[in-house]
Structure 1
Amino acid sequence: MNAYLLLAFAIVSEVFGSSMLKVSKGFSKWLPSLGVVVGMGTAFYFLSLSLKELPLGVAYAIWSGVGTALTAMIGVLVWKENFNVKKALGLALIIGGVIVMKLSTGSST
């Protein structure tokens, strides 16, 4: 399977697990807590598979950066958290950093 597709599965799983953290209310609700464990476990599994082909630094930058950006957007859209210029700038810097990391590899993977 394509390494970037595996990485995409890892990102979606991590965003799901992170989102369930909010719903779990400090792990006091068992079903969302199970969602955290399943989401994060699945995320690390798919991340580990993607690392068979992708450089660690690039894969982790993409995984954490895109995951952070998507989780922040879920916070804004679902939980009605504040979205302001500082948050937008922070997300832009994260995405820019991911792009720079990818460009730094100089390879086609």
Structure 2
Amino acid sequence: MPPFVLLGFAILSEVIATTALKSVEGFTRLGPSLIVVGGYSLAFYLLSQVLDHIAVGTAYAVWAGGGIVLVALAAWAVYGQRPDAAGFFGIGLIVAGVLVLNLVSDTSAH
């Protein structure tokens, strides 16, 4: 599987785990707790596989940027936590930074 596809699955797994984290109630609820532990475990396993093909700085920038955007959207959809204008602007800057890193910079070389 292509490394950026694996990275996408790692990000998705981390987003699911992070979104479920609000529901664990101090890890006293089994279902959400299993989602969190399983999601983060899968996310880090997949990220470790990606690092054989993508520079760690690039992989982490994409991971962090993608995670921030998707967690913000998930928090809005699931918990009604809508970002304000400054939040949207900041998220846009993060996306712009990830795009510059991947499309313009030479730092993405392994």
CA distance in 2, matches of 1:106, 1:67: 20
Q: Could you tell me the percent identity over the aligned residues? A: 39
Instruction: State the TM-score, normalizing by the size of structure 2.
Output: 0.91
> Hey, what's the Cα distance between the residues in 1 that align with 2:89 and 2:61?
18
C-alpha displacement of 1:108: 7.5
Structure 1 distance, partners of 2:108, 2:101, is 12
Cα distance in structure 2, aligned partners of 1:57 and 1:107: 8
Relative to structure 1, the CA distance from residue 27 to residue 11 in structure 2 (aligned partners, 3 Å threshold; closer, same or farther) is same
Gaps of 5+ in 2: none
* Count of paired positions: 109
Hey, what's the Cα distance between the residues in 2 that align with 1:64 and 1:107?
Answer: 15
Determine the structure 1 residue equivalent to 2:5.
5
The answer for the alignment partner of 2:23 in structure 1 is 23
Structure 1 segments unaligned to the other structure (5+ residues): none
2:43 maps to 43
Deviations 1:13-44 (A, max 9, x none): 00011011011122121110111110000000
1:23–1:107 CA distance, 2 compared to 1 (3 A): closer
Report the TM-score when normalising by structure 1: 0.92
**Match for 1:58: what amino acid?**
T
Dislocated runs of 4+, deviation >4 Å: 106-109
Q: How far apart in 2 are the matches of 1:95 and 1:19? A: 20
